[in-house]
Amino acid sequence: HPAGGETEEEKQRVDLLENQLMDLRMNFARLCYSPDFEKLKPAYLEQLPKKLQELSRFLGSRPWFAGQKITYVDFLAYDVLDQQRMFVPDCPELKGNLAQFLQRFEALDKISAYMRSGRFMKTPIFWRTGKWCNTKE
């Protein structure tokens, strides 16, 4: 099936979400690479719940962000949400349907097999020049 959605509504949802996720990803990268990381972190953490609530509302009760079938934007969403989960492990906005989405993605046969393989590397998130990259110390 088309990786970007089948119906016009699904294609629009994919386009919209891709841009929202890339904004969140870029803001996170800018924070993590900033020499002012510690100073900027509180403002980032303050706006994060609203961003995650918007994503939660957008997902709603659908299994995947575009609808009933997985699209490429779900891979991007997983990556961005998983990074936020590592950055703020106790984030309440990453409970509920977003947590279910993450679990559903991780349970996909090929994803699950890959994550259990020796080829899978969960960290580091960013290059070592980042102020936060979730590396194992």
Tens digits of residue pLDDT in 21-41: 999 999 999 998 899 999 999
Mean pLDDT of the chain: 89
**DSSP notation for the chain:** --TT-SSHHHHHHHHHHHHHHHHHHHHHHHHHH-TTHHHHHHHHHHHHHHHHHHHHHHHTT-SSSSSSS--HHHHHHHHHHHHHHHHSTT-GGGSHHHHHHHHHHHTSHHHHHHHHSTT-----SS-TTSS------
- What is this structure's pTM? 0.87
Domains and CATH numbers, the chain: 8-116 (1.20.1050.10)
The whole-number pLDDT of residue 122 equals 73
